[in-house]
Amino acid sequence: MKALVYRGPGKSALEERPKPEPTASTDAVVRITKTTICGTDLHILKGDVRSCAPGRILGHEGVGVVDSIGAAVTSFRPGDHVIVSCISSCGKCEYCRRGMYSHCVNGGWILGNTIDGTQAEYVRIPFADTSLYHVPAGTEEEALVMLSDILPTGFECGVLNGKVQPGSTVAIVGAGPIGLAVLLTAQFYSPAEIIMIDLDDNRLEVAKLFGATTVINNQNGGAVDTIMKMTSNRGVDTAIEAVGVPASFVTCEDIVAPGGTIANIGVHGVKADLHLERLWNRNITIATRLVDTATTPMLLKTVVAHKVDPGRLITHRFKLSEITAAYETFGHAAKTKALKVIIEACSDTS
């Protein structure tokens, strides 16, 4: 089969690899029909994620069709259309029983990290019964790729960790795909203001279409002053970091109101300054999290009910043979105006 393989910082290649088979009784092998690229994949290629070793097949998102199953799999059968969760959970360990599937001692974020991932024609999924989701009949599967990671990540790490409430003021630093996923799901809770901050006018225009009440281009570094003026020098109730660079985290520190919450989503490869000399007496909560995907079933219901449309995030489409071009497009989003790219790994012939 064809697969995109990480070859060290700045290096990847589309290679031929053996088709995987179930190696444990709880495994399933899924034929990937659609996958995508995550900002975390770009961090891996930069060398920021040390747990991902050269030789690894990248990718942790996708939809597909079950090809084969281990003897202990009871919830899925060959031919079933499924969503692949970015988090693999055994469902039995202490962390899984606490709903912290990202910290599963037998799984967690392993796809495209410590085991081979989804940017391939086939992928082996450990703990299939608790790491796959059935695709409802008649649902647009392309949009459901966003339920593998980006939608639950934005909701859990941003909206829930950020304690977004009706009538509150929310600022999202970063209008990339993850920031826009936060924007879409924050509206479940009817905040009074959703402010989007970015350096890219195209993404800010998209944010306005998606429901942002105010957008701010921070090219001149004036976003903090603008927000403080908007809020009578109080700040925002929730500041969400959705980039993964030190400057954006400091921006969140600068704009959070007393009693507010900073929710970090971005993958940070270098240290960021924590200004406790300014925050120590302001009753600030700082929340970090890796997505658990505990909310995926609920989010799937909202998609089926047309309460949220994650397909709006898709801007480009490629074949697996074009995945290098897909990375180039996704990695230069300011030029290409890319949000999420869809990669067709295998045609759906079922």
Same domain, 211 and 184: yes
> Where is the domain boundary, 287, 315, 332?
287
Residue 330 has pLDDT above 80, yes or no: yes
Same domain, 277 and 296: no
Tell me: do 272 and 158 sit in the same domain: yes
- pLDDT, average across residues 152-179: 98
Q: Work out the pLDDT band at 162, boundaries 50, 70, 90.
A: very high
Is 62 in the same domain as 168?
A: no
- Is residue 199 one of the residues assigned to a domain? yes
Element (H, E) at 317: strand 314-319
Q: Is residue 310 part of a domain?
A: yes
* Structure tokens, 54: 């050269």
Q: What is the pLDDT of residues 180-214, one digit of tens each?
A: 999 999 999 999 999 999 999 999 999 999 999 99
Is residue 131 located within the same domain as residue 169? no
Average pLDDT over residues 130-159: 96
Distance CA(270)–CA(48), nearest Å, equals 8
For 209, residues 6+ apart whose C-beta sits below 8 A from its C-beta are none
Same domain, 145 and 9: yes
Average pLDDT (268-287) is: 94
Q: Is the pLDDT of residue 349 over 70?
A: no
Directed axis angle between helix 201-210 and helix 177-186, to 10°? Answer: 20
> Could you tell me if 156 and 144 lie in one domain?
no
**C-alpha atoms less than 13 angstroms from C-alpha of 121 in its C-beta half-sphere:** 13
Q: What average pLDDT does the chain have?
A: 96
What is the model's pLDDT at position 275?
96
161 and 99 together in one domain: no
Same domain, 164 and 283: yes
Residue 114: CB atoms within 10 Å: 14
What is the distance between the terminal CA atoms of the chain, rounded to a whole angstrom?
19
Higher pLDDT, 65 or 137: 65
Confidence of residue 269 (pLDDT cuts 50, 70, 90): confident
Which of 242, 265, 287 corresponds to the end of one domain?
287
Q: Give the burial class of 199: count Cβ atoms within 10 A of its Cβ; 0-12 exposed, 13-18 middle, 19 or more buried.
A: middle
CA atoms of 215 and 70, how far apart (whole Å): 50
Q: Is residue 108 part of a domain?
A: yes
What would the two tokens of residue 70 be? 């281990």
CATH classification at residue 58: 3.90.180.10
In a domain, 349, yes or no: no
What does the pLDDT read at residue 81?
97
What is the tally of structural domains in the chain?
Answer: 2
Name the residue type at position 247: A
Look at residue 23 and tell me if it is in a domain.
yes
* CB 253 within 8 Å of CB 275: yes
Token pair, residue 206, equals 């998209």
Mean pLDDT of the 127-135 span: 98
State residue 350's pLDDT score. Answer: 54
Is the confidence at residue 104, as pLDDT, over 80? yes
Q: What's the CATH number where 157 sits? A: 3.40.50.720
Residue at 237 is within a domain = yes
- Claim to verify: residue 119 and residue 168 sit in the same structural domain: no
Q: What is the signed CA dihedral for 59, 78, 104, 90, rounded to 10 degrees?
A: -170
**Integer Cα distance of 8 and 11 in angstroms:** 5
How far apart, in Å, are the Cα atoms of 99 and each of 87, 130, 154?
12, 12, 17
DSSP string, 151-188: HHHIIIIIIITTT--TT-EEEEE--SHHHHHHHHHHGG
Domain that holds residue 338: 2-149+292-344
pLDDT at 268 over 90: no
Alpha helices in the chain (DSSP H): 39-46, 94-97, 128-131, 141-144, 150-153, 177-186, 201-210, 223-230, 246-255, 276-279, 296-304, 323-331, 333-336
Shared-domain flag, residues 283 and 327: no
Q: Are residues 14 and 128 in the same domain?
A: yes
Residue 322, strand partner residues: none
Q: Which residue has the tokens 């209008």?
A: 175
